[in-house]
Amino acid sequence: MKETTLSVSEFRPRCLRLLDEVGKHGGHFVITKRGRPIARVTPMSDPVTPLRGSWEGIVKGDRDIVNFDLSSDWEAPQ
């Protein structure tokens, strides 16, 4: 659905159908009153899940990933 501009009197009888269209197909429309825009109807986005803690219970670490020692993986020149 592309952007549509409707007056309040046009919006009122078609309200439910227009809201269903926006929910299913996206897009948005502007409602005007006496030629002045008063509202824009857009679909709601899904709530964003925070990344912090999203791997909790899924990934298990067996070592410290911040303070680690790699000295045993390297050979020092003699």
Per domain, the residue ranges of the chain are 1-28
How far is the CA of 36 from the CAs of 2, 6, 7, 13, 71, in angstroms? 19, 10, 9, 20, 70
For 38-70, write each residue's pLDDT tens digit: 999 998 887 777 888 888 888 877 777 787 777
Residue range 10-22, pLDDT digits in tens: 999 999 999 998 8
What pLDDT does 60 receive? 79
Q: Secondary structure of the chain: what % helix, strand, coil (to 5)?
A: 25, 20, 55
Q: Are 2 and 29 in contact (CB under 8 A)?
A: no
Residue 78 pLDDT grade (very low, low, confident, very high; cuts 50, 70, 90): low
